[in-house]
Amino acid sequence: MTKPTALPSYTTEKPCRKPFTPIYSLKQIIFLLLTTFCLFVITLWLRVGENFLLLEETFPLDLPHSADADGSARPLSTPVKSSTGSPSQLSDELFNYRPSPNKLITYLPHSGTTYQFLEIVRALTLAAALNRTLVIPPLRPSPNEENGQNAEPSSWSRFFDLKAFTEQTGIPLMEWDDVYEQLVPEKEMTCVGLTGRHTRTSSLHADKFYKERYNMTLHFEERGLADNPSALAKALNEIDDDLICLSDAFYLRWRLKEQWESIGKYFHYSKELSIFADRITYDMFGVKPYIGIHLRRGDFKKICKKIVNPLARENCWPTLETLQNTVSYIRQELSGMDLPVFVATNSQNPVELRAISELGWKMVDYKLYNVEEKFGVFGRSMVEGSILTKASFGIGTRGSTFSKVAEMRMKDWYGGLSIKLIANTENPGDLLS
């Protein structure tokens, strides 16, 4: 940085000032610091918008799936088969983790389906550090989602192959509904708050849920322990109860990528769900590769509105035009194929849904396939997730964890490529609050 040769000119407007001195006054130093800081903030702000439509990943030049020249010979990916995820890749801690079935840990489920999935992964990280067996609570309807608070909860094994997870990793799991009667015969449970905040709100009416579904009374105890796995484990190790209940696994905001790498990717969709989704995909596209778009709408409307930068806002709430441009880019530049498009969305706007259909993009016909009858209220997002996972190219919505997790599955399991409209935030929950 070159040193300015003259002081700002306001000194010259006062005729009777002391002679020029090269020493900066405190005021000037503060002014300079403030200016630098403002410039820094403005640059950051602009950069958020700049990422718009940038391909975040460096693309390998070959196509993600081997397809014959006409692009039609790609076999349907077999469910449950995974290119990654051999137990030798588990971290030492998880590889050697063989807890007793009598020392257990559970948590209160919170928020939408993707977050509840991440809660399993986070609680499992803690469980391993504590050498306890994880008891997974059921997938619970979230008030944030259309399925509402009153819909039936669902067992996770309906959607994920928990047996295969255990066979592959050696890590035992239990499901709450199978064991709670023996575990909590007295029907009272105390749940420990770990992060020092939201003990009650984080449980999002969990007390009501456990009362209505299990006739159980919950108590909360805020401990406000540290927010990293080893410090938490150290503190929790002092609890000798056979069952520890965590009230706010949701707020353990550990790095998504690491959590995915260490455990998340070993949770594969159940065979039943995969085959069901494959059949819908086959009806839509035959065996052709396709582009998968996750278009998050619903409660994002409120969140996106608050974003000041217009480009960032557009990425939070992309228009169909933006998506069409991205699709064209994939077809022309990346694949050279006229790939069909699948759209997973929670949009309920009939005009928008019609416009999507008119583009020739496919969505799942839930009524036709009786998705809800077969898989309950969560069936729809699970089926969509499974179809997205097998796309050759994925386009996600910024800030959506559903997009993020679908992207990781797609890339890790089947080698698809993802295009983010803009950089995904590590903690979309920050946008929600």
Ligand X SMILES: *[C@@H]1O[C@H](CO)[C@@H](O)[C@H](O)[C@H]1NC(C)=O
Residue 185 sits in the site that holds ligand X (CB under 6 A): no
Residue 98 vs 163, nearer CB to ligand X: 98
Give the shortest CB-131-to-ligand X separation in angstroms. 4
Q: Residues 121 to 180: which contact ligand X by CB under 6 A?
A: 131
The stretch among 96-104, 200-208, 232-240, 424-432 that binds ligand X (CB under 6 A) is 96-104
User: CA–CA separation, 291 vs 256, rounded Å?
Assistant: 24
Residue 80 vs 216, nearer CB to ligand X: 216
Residue 58 sits in the site that holds ligand X (CB under 6 A): no
Out of 49, 99, 415, 429, name the contact with ligand X by CB under 6 A.
99
User: CA–CA separation, 103 vs 125, rounded Å?
Assistant: 15
Q: Which residues contact 140 (CB under 8 A, 6 or more apart)?
A: 109, 116, 153, 209
Q: Residues 287 to 346: which contact ligand X by CB under 6 A?
A: none
User: CA–CA separation, 226 vs 246, rounded Å?
Assistant: 13
Residue 86 sits in the site that holds ligand X (CB under 6 A): no
Give the shortest CB-97-to-ligand X separation in angstroms. 8
Structure tokens, 68: 């014959």
| Residue 183 near residue 174 (C-beta atoms within 8 A) | no
Out of 17, 47, 187, 219, name the contact with ligand X by CB under 6 A.
187
DSSP state string for 272-306? HHHHHHHHHHHHHHTT---EEEEE--TTHHHHHHT
First to last CA, the chain: 40
76 alpha-carbon distance from chain centroid: 26
Out of 98, 163, 234, 257, name the contact with ligand X by CB under 6 A.
98
Residue 182 vs 215, nearer CB to ligand X: 215
Q: Residues 60 to 79: which contact ligand X by CB under 6 A?
A: none
Residue 35 vs 100, nearer CB to ligand X: 100
| Count, residues near ligand X per rule CB under 6 A | 6
Give the shortest CB-128-to-ligand X separation in angstroms. 10
Q: Which residues contact 123 (CB under 8 A, 6 or more apart)?
A: 105, 106, 107, 134, 136, 246, 249
Angle at 106 between CA 103 and CA 108, to 5 degrees: 165
Residue 91 sits in the site that holds ligand X (CB under 6 A): no
Residue 187 vs 234, nearer CB to ligand X: 187
Residue closest to ligand X, measured at CB: 100
Give the shortest CB-98-to-ligand X separation in angstroms. 6
Sign of CA dihedral 170, 175, 178, 184: positive
Residue 233 vs 405, nearer CB to ligand X: 233
| Residue 287 near residue 73 (C-beta atoms within 8 A) | yes
Binding site for ligand X (CB under 6 A): 98-100, 131, 187, 215
